[in-house]
Structure 1
Amino acid sequence: MLTPLLPMMARAYTLDGPRHKVDAIIVLSGGLQCSSGALNSASFARVIKGLELWRAGYAPQMILSGGGEQTPHGCPKVATTAEQIVHTLYPTNGPRIAVLNDVLNTRGEAAQTRSLAKANGWKSFLLVTSPTHTRRAAQTFQDAGLNVTPIAADETAFDLAMPLMGHRLTALRGVVRELAARLTGRV
Structure 2
Amino acid sequence: MFTFKNSKLKYYFSALAGILVVFFGLAGFTDINAALSKVWLTQEPLQKAEVLIILGGGIDSKTGKLSFKSQERVLSGAQLFQQGYAPAIIVAGGKVGKNPFAEAPAMAELLQKNGVPAEAIIQENQSENTWENAQNALAIAKLRRFQKIIVLTSDFHTYRACKFFRQLGGEVICRAADRDVINQKTFVRRLLSTKVLLREYAANCYYWLKGRL
TM-score over 0.5 for the alignment?
yes
Distance 1:8 1:35 in 2: 31
Number of aligned residue pairs: 179
What is the match of residue 83 of structure 2?
56
> How large is the Cα RMSD of the aligned pairs?
2.8
1:44 to 71, 89, 95: 71
Structure-1 residue corresponding to 2:29: none
Deviations along 1:29-87, one digit per CA (max 9) or x if unpaired, are 01112322211100111110111001000111100011136243xx3311111112223
Q: Which has the larger radius of gyration?
A: 2
The equivalent position to 1:109 in structure 2, one of 116, 129, 133, is: 133
Paired residues for 1:130-149 under 5 Å: 130-149=154-173
Does 2:110 correspond to 1:85? yes
Residues 129 and 151 in structure 1, CA contact (< 8 A), matched pair in contact too: yes
Residue 152 of structure 1 deviates from its aligned partner by 1.1
Once residues 171 and 149 of structure 1 are traced to their aligned partners in structure 2, the CA distance between those partners, rounded to angstroms, is 24
- Return closer, same or farther for 1:8/1:51 CA change in 2, 3 Å cut-off: closer
Q: Distance in 2 between matches of 1:29 and 1:23?
A: 20
Instruction: Considering fraction of residues, name the structure with more strand.
Output: 1
* Identity rate, percent: 26
Write 1 or 2 for the structure with the bigger share of helix: 2
Q: Is the 8 A contact 1:158 1:170 kept in 2?
A: no
1:26 aligns with 2:53: yes
**Distance in structure 2 (CA, Å) of the matches to 1:167 and 1:78:** 20
SS at match of 2:169: coil
Q: Hey, what's the Cα distance between the residues in 2 that align with 1:69 and 1:20?
A: 32
The normalised TM-score by structure 1 is 0.81
Aligned counterparts of 2:188 and 2:96: Cα–Cα separation in 1: 33
Unaligned runs of 5+ in 2: 1-22, 27-31
Over 6 Å off, 4+ runs = 164-168
Q: For structure 1, which runs of at least 5 residues remain unmatched after alignment?
A: none
> 1:97 corresponds to which residue?
121
